[in-house]
Amino acid sequence: MQHRTSRRSLLTTTAAVAAITALGPPSPAQASPGTAASDRRLRAIIARMSVEEKIGQLFVMRVYGHSATAPDQADIDANLRELGVRDAAELIAKYHVGGIIYFTWAHNTRDPHQIADLSNGIQAAGLAQRVPLPLLIATDQEHGAVCRVGKPATLFPGAMAMGAGGSTGDARTLGRISGAELAAIGIRQDYSPDADVNINPANPVIGVRSFGADPAAVARMVAAEVRGYQDSSVAATAKHFPGHGDTSVDSHTGIPVITHTREQWEQLDAPPFRAAIDAGIDAIMTAHIQFPALDPSNDPATLSHPILTGILREQLGFDGVVITDSLGMQGVRDKYGDDRVPVLALKAGVDQLLDPPKLDVAFNGLRAAVASGELPESRLDASILRILRLKDRRGLFTRPYVTARGVDRTVGTRAHLAAAASVAERTTTLLANPQGLLPLPRGQRLLIVGADPDSPSGTTGPPTTVLAGALSELGFHVRVLPTGTLPSQAQIAAAARAAAGQDAVIVGTYNAGAGGAQSRLVAALVATGVPVIHLALRNPYDIAHLAPGYAASLATYCWTDVELRAAARVLAGRVDPRGRLPVAVPRADDPTQDLYPIGHGLSY
């Protein structure tokens, strides 16, 4: 049964309603967001807050459960173990946190009505505090490989696919539609778009989350998505400053070092962040990376005063909210203890502290720094004012709650889904078609083999199954034989046998490397003599590692339903492939040379 937003959560309590009234909703003439009158009102709220309430306002925290007050027992246990509270309402009452981040793995995002109910419960808890304040609820809805809110919400292609499409109009449409749907379920901040310029094909953490490798093109797409999200009153968040696109280390598990010179940073990394600021972005997220040319201390950028204050605040002129990447990531924890990281982040210029591993340790570390005078209370006030301005600008003081009707008329509507499908059809990139095999004639017999990576929220099943279903709908006779990302020799042999009698084989690869099992699978299929169509399901670099002889190769940039269904329509000739590579594909035997340059892409 579909969960419906409850009447109780919408009406809240008399106390909560009185609390929001006490905030003094601004009159249009006197206290519109961003005006001097608005700032006076917000400063008056800050003046009423205790030091503990101020410290809490700086944190954006995870919390387990589908409900703010009645999570499942397993989620209660997880909250008690990690946070020392039972649920979101207790977390807010104890620590006065200013924001909550939703995760799929924390069981926050089951379905739109449940999410709306959870959001309303969180807002009711915030407005029940001594100093009533709405919370800023956020998530990572990048689309593509990183997506926390799944179907029936509208899912668009990810950033690199959007970069392949190259349309700023499509990027703004993504932001506008996704923002409207997030706002309808109570999420008013999205940690998107990714403003990193992915110039390193070996980047283990950014890759297809980036719009591409051309700084100017990335800047245009970032600015367009920012405007789209904020058109829908959702705070966009550009990440990861000062730029995470040229790393070979994942900052979740280590500390990446960027070796760019200051001049290279200005040319390669800075343009998308400048464009985001020019577009009026509300927030910028930091990177847990060392950047010696910008700060020789070897502190991660999240803790770097020269980078966050000297460059971001003073040079680039950004006066919005600066938020850390997750403080549970190893890249920010290697050099200092968990009690010192929040203190150093604030001293560097940060406003919001995202999801420390141990909230009590982080909270008490800040309290000790304020008590000792290391952090003046006025420093807390400056960050809180920026946070409250953002909440005010996004309407949380006057419209903290969402409604079931708003969910139904906004989330996953036919018009939104059609727009996403249309955008996706402009992103699929035809890399090679040497035998002129594509498009495929209707009615052919097709074997689909290859990788079935773990599915992000934008999928209804494994990629082979989704692609098979889409091609069947288009009139093909399809057989599926998944072989995984590490096919065994027995699986490779079985796939080669299954190719017999087929008109073509479609093989999906997922980050295939030279000489790896996926490459051996493609070679074995080519050796059967049946035409082989290669589909790169994530990074477009896979084609450089394949043995010659394939009949065609396409890049989808992700394996979500919307991208795979678009690829099926391209294979069937229902739409012309229009995507163009937003990154260069280097040769496997000489990475200094391009196999395919930026902008490459074929049409029918």
Active site residues: 252, 325
Half-sphere exposure (CA, 13 Å, Cβ side) for 368? 12
Host H or E run for residue 102: strand 99-102
Euclidean distance between the first and final Cα of the chain, in Å?
Answer: 46
Host H or E run for residue 370: helix 359-372
The answer to whether the beta carbons of residues 574 and 428 sit under 8 Å apart is no
Alpha-carbon span 602 to 595, nearest angstrom: 14
Cα distances (angstroms) measured from residue 538 to each of 307, 348, 554: 32, 36, 11
Encoded amino acid at 481, one letter: L
Encoded amino acid at 70, one letter: A
Helices and strands (DSSP H and E) totals, the chain = 23, 18
The answer to whether the beta carbons of residues 350 and 286 sit under 8 Å apart is yes
β-bridge partners, 100:
61, 137
Residue 283 has phi, psi (to 5 degrees) of -145, 155
Q: Where are the alpha helices (DSSP H) in 72-208?
A: 73-82, 88-95, 112-127, 159-165, 168-184
> Rounded to 10 degrees, what is the CA torsion of 543, 548, 549, 550?
-10
Query: With 0-12 CB in 10 A as exposed, 13-18 as middle and 19+ as buried, what is 14?
Result: exposed
Question: Which of 586, 585, 567, 587 lies closest to 576, judged by CA?
Answer: 567
Q: What is the largest CA-CA distance in the chain?
A: 78
